[in-house]
Amino acid sequence: MSDKMTIIELAIIPVNMKQGEKKMTRPYVFITRKLSEEILAPLKEIADVQMWNSESEAVPREVLLEEAQKADALLTMLSDKVDRELLSHSRNLKVVANLAVGYDNIDLEAASETGVIVCNTPDVLTETTADLTFALLLATARRITEAQEYVKEGQWQSWSPYLLAGADVHHKSIGIIGMGKIGQAVARRANGFGMEVLYHNRNRHLEAERELGASYRSFEQLLEQSDFVVCLTPLTEATRHLFDRDAFKLMKKSAFFINVGRGQVVDEEELIEALQQNEIAGAGLDVFYQEPIGSEHPLLKMPQVVAIPHIGSASVETRTTMMKLCCDNIMAVLHGKEPKTKVR
């Protein structure tokens, strides 16, 4: 067994068990990252739980495959691949609870063929992710990270009119690609900044149009007309590489691209070229094609790029709620009940 594996609880005999009574086999739950004991307490009442004992390092594929083969339930991160290979060898597996609203890391078709329920964490992260989206947009437009480095490096000599002058956000136009719950929460924040809200979505969202004054545009119109293009669309076969060189060419040269959706919605090579050729003004990126990115990544060499490590929903409050929701979903399935937030 790897030294990263923590046996949280093994074969605890239920308190009401009589002497000599045969112990019922408890379900086995494997968690792919270290979570707090407190959050896991209710789950530990009904199951044997093990977790990969690292907060930052992902569980190796071979460990995940091995544990999944024994597990009744998996609590996974968005970086864990739950594919056909894993699902077809996991004979006892009943539920995968993914600690994210996105579930592009899970093969839903294979899960449904093997009778595995997939759960995610929608709603509870909406406002937190919208906060981060807006923070990233503001940081990119107003050059906040560049400005901080400037001060920290001791370069600040005097006040000067053009020093780190960025772009205004208020009263500009924002184009939201993906008008789901997070998209609408971003639109509410944009309303507070007096921005014109444009959106593109698979389907028209009449409530967002009515309540938030959002105007529907085709993908191309949105790119042409927005000062800030905000990508929040999930990764599907239809959205993979949606943002390619042609898309960036349609954007205003003064416009910023903000991505808090998924990295593979963007052809990253073509984004780099668009930035190098000044076809767009800058980019704020929470997500990348292949995560994590190393410190030598070309996007990190560009002052007009703000790059952060996929922290859209990362507030302590929201992450705690997401973890609890995952545990609740697992417990529901293990009790033969309907989980609260089932994807399929």
Residue 258 lies near ligand DGY (rule: CB under 6 A): no
Q: Which of 78, 185, 271, 332 binds ligand DGY (CB under 6 A)?
A: 78
Residue 327 lies near ligand DGY (rule: CB under 6 A): no
Residue 321 lies near ligand DGY (rule: CB under 6 A): no
Coil, helix or strand at residue 278? coil
Q: Which of 40, 100, 293, 326 binds ligand DGY (CB under 6 A)?
A: 100
Residue 298 lies near ligand DGY (rule: CB under 6 A): no
Residue 332 lies near ligand DGY (rule: CB under 6 A): no
Residue 183 lies near ligand DGY (rule: CB under 6 A): no
Residue 102 lies near ligand DGY (rule: CB under 6 A): yes
**Minimal distance in Å, beta carbon 262 to ligand DGY?**
7
Residues facing 96 on adjacent strands: 74, 118
Residue 264 lies near ligand DGY (rule: CB under 6 A): no
Active site residue 9: no
Residue 82 lies near ligand DGY (rule: CB under 6 A): no
Amino acid identity of 228?
A: F
Amino acid identity of 277?
A: Q
Joined tokens for residue 82:
């739950």
**Minimal distance in Å, beta carbon 78 to ligand DGY?**
6
Secondary structure of 111-151 in the HEC alphabet? HHHCCCEEECCCCCCHHHHHHHHHHHHHHHHCCHHHHHHHH
Joined tokens for residue 307:
């790059």
Using CB under 6 A, which of the segments 69-77, 159-167, 198-206, 307-315 binds ligand DGY?
A: 307-315
Active site residue 310: yes
Complex with ligand DGY: residue 97 or 125, whichever CB lies closer: 125
- String marking each residue 125-144 x if it binds ligand DGY according to CB under 6 A: x---x---------------
Residue 313 lies near ligand DGY (rule: CB under 6 A): yes
Catalytic residue among 189, 262, 279, 319: 262
Active site residue 262: yes
Query: By the 8 A CB rule, do 127 and 321 touch?
Result: no
Joined tokens for residue 123:
């709603």
Q: How far is CA 313 from the centre of its chain?
A: 7
Residue 222 lies near ligand DGY (rule: CB under 6 A): no
Residue 75 lies near ligand DGY (rule: CB under 6 A): no
61-91 core/surface letters (b: 16 or more CB in 10 A; e: else): eebbeebbeebbbbbbebebebeeebbeebe
* Alpha-carbon span 237 to 244, nearest angstrom: 15
Element (H, E) at 326: helix 316-334
Query: By the 8 A CB rule, do 264 and 243 touch?
Result: no
Residue with tokens 């042609």: 246
Q: Give the residue closest to ligand DGY by C-beta.
A: 312
Query: By the 8 A CB rule, do 69 and 20 touch?
Result: no
Using CB under 6 A, which of the segments 4-12, 28-36, 299-307, 308-316 binds ligand DGY?
A: 308-316
Q: Which of 86, 101, 271, 293 binds ligand DGY (CB under 6 A)?
A: 101
Complex with ligand DGY: residue 100 or 280, whichever CB lies closer: 100
CB neighbourhood size of 215 (10 A): 16
* Alpha-carbon span 20 to 229, nearest angstrom: 66
Residues at the interface with ligand DGY (CB under 6 A) = 78, 100-102, 125, 129, 310, 312-313
Catalytic residues, which ones?
Answer: 262, 291, 310
